[in-house]
Amino acid sequence: MGKGYLLLSDGTIFSGRIFGQPSVCCGEIVFNTSMAGYSEILTDPSYNGQIVLMTYPLIGNYGVEDLWNESCGINATALVVKKLYEGPLPPGRESLESFMERRGKCGITDVDTRSLTIHIRTNGSQNAVIFPEGQEKQARELIATFPKITERDLIDGVSVKEEISDPDLGEGFIKATDNPGRRIALVDFGIKRSIIENFYKRGFQVTLLPPSFKATDVLDRGYCMLFLSNGPGDPALLQDAVAQAGKCIGRIPVCGICLGHQIITWALGGRTVKMTFGHHGGNHPVKDMDTGKTFVTSQNHGFMSDRSSLPQGVRIWFENANDGTVEGLYDKERHVRSVQFHPEAAPGPQDVTWIFDSMLEEIV
C-alpha cells in the first residue's frame, strides 16, 4: 500500500494509504454508520457513483464471502476507512483488500474518518477524488469538471436491459417457486438480490423489467403487482419511469422501496429534494404513523420526498424519528405502498421484513 489522498470538491484534503487497485477515482462521498456489512454495502447497486466512507473505525476483520454480495460486482466507486484489517481470517474467506483489488476498485485507509464525517455533516455530501501520491494534478483536473450526482445517469450499468423471468440469485439464495398465478412485475433500477429473495420466500415469481418499461408491459400481461426497486441517483431524472408508473397506479397495486419510493412520490403528484448528507446505515429509527410503533431500519438514500408537495389522499406511512423526514407513503384506495428504508436490510436489522407482507396484501 502506497501513500494516497482524498480531495473534496471544496478543497479539503485528507491523507492515507491506498489499497485495492491504485487509481484516480471520483464520485459523491457519503458516510455509512453501519458497524458491519461492508461486503453488502460495496455490492449494493444503489451506491453506484458514490465513494463510501465507513464511520466504524475497523473494517474488514471478518473478510468477504460471495454469499453476502447483493450483486455480481462492486458498485461503489471507492471505500474510505479509518483502519483496514490485515490480519488472519476464517478459512475460505477472502480479505477485503484482495476483494477490492480483484474487482478493480480503489480504497484508502488510515484516514481521519471522524473529522471527514463531521465535515460532510457540516458542509453536505459533495464530490471527492481519491488518488495515489504523485497524481494530484490529474485528480484536481478531474474533480474540477466532474458532474454532480444530480447530473448523472447512474441507472445504466446496474439494471437489466431486457426482461428476465425468475432470475437465479446464485448459490445460497432461495429460488423462485412454480406458481404462475402469483407473478410480480419488478422494474430493475439496480435491484438487490435480497429484495428478489424476499418475494421468492413468499411464493411469488418475479419478472425483471428494464427501467425503460412501458405501462402496457405490465397492464396487459396479468401481473398481480408492479414493484419499483431501489437504485442509484436522482429520481427527478427518471421522468419516463415516473410517467409509466403513474399510468399503472389505480389499475394495479404499485409498491416500491428506496428509489422506487421516490419514483412513486413523483407518480402520485409529489416531488423529491436532495438531502444535505442523506441517510446511510443500519441504525435509523422510523415511526409507523398508524400504530405509533418505532422500528430500527437500514437506509441508503440521498434524496427524500418533499412533504409539502404531497397531494391530498396520499398518507404518510412512516416518518424518520430523528429528523421527521418522510419514510413511507400509502394510498389505500389506489393500492399504493412505498418505503424509503430497506425492509430486506442486508446489512442491517430485520425488524421490518413484515413490510413485504403488508405490500403484498394490496394484491386484490
pLDDT digits (tens, 9 = 90+) for 162-208: 999 999 999 889 999 888 779 999 999 999 999 999 999 999 999 99
Helix (H, G, I), strand (E, B) or coil at 113: helix
What is the structure's pLDDT at 41?
98
User: What is the spatial distance between Cα 291 and Cα 299, in angstroms, rounded to a whole number?
Assistant: 21
Which residue ranges make up each domain of the chain? 3-146, 164-360
Residue 18 contacts residue 3 (beta carbons within 8 Å): yes
Q: At what angle do helices 239-248 and 259-267 cross, to 10 degrees?
A: 70
pLDDT tens digit string along 307-334?
999 999 999 999 999 999 999 999 999 9
Burial of 339 (0-12, 13-18, 19+ CB in 10 A): buried
pLDDT tens-place values along the chain, 364 residues long: 899 999 999 999 999 999 999 999 999 999 999 999 999 999 999 999 999 999 999 999 999 999 999 999 999 999 999 999 999 999 999 999 999 999 999 999 999 999 999 999 999 999 999 999 999 999 999 999 999 999 999 999 899 999 999 999 998 899 998 887 799 999 999 999 999 999 999 999 999 999 999 999 999 999 999 999 999 999 999 999 999 999 999 999 999 999 999 999 999 999 999 999 999 999 999 999 999 999 999 999 999 999 999 999 999 999 999 999 999 999 999 999 999 999 999 999 999 999 999 999 999 7
Task: Determine the topology of domain 3-146 in CATH.
Answer: Glucose Oxidase; domain 1 (3.50.30)
Q: Name the CATH topology of 164-360.
A: Rossmann fold (3.40.50)
Check whether the bond before 347 is cis (ω within 30° of 0). yes
Active site residues: 258, 342, 344
Q: How far apart are CA 228 and CA 94, in angstroms?
A: 33
Q: Please count the other Cβ atoms lying within 10 Å of the Cβ belonging to residue 18.
A: 22
The dihedral region occupied by 356, where left means phi > 0, alpha psi between -120 and 50, and beta the remainder, is alpha
Closest by CA position to 148, among listed 49, 35, 80: 49
pLDDT attached to residue 178: 84
**pTM surpassing 0.85?**
yes
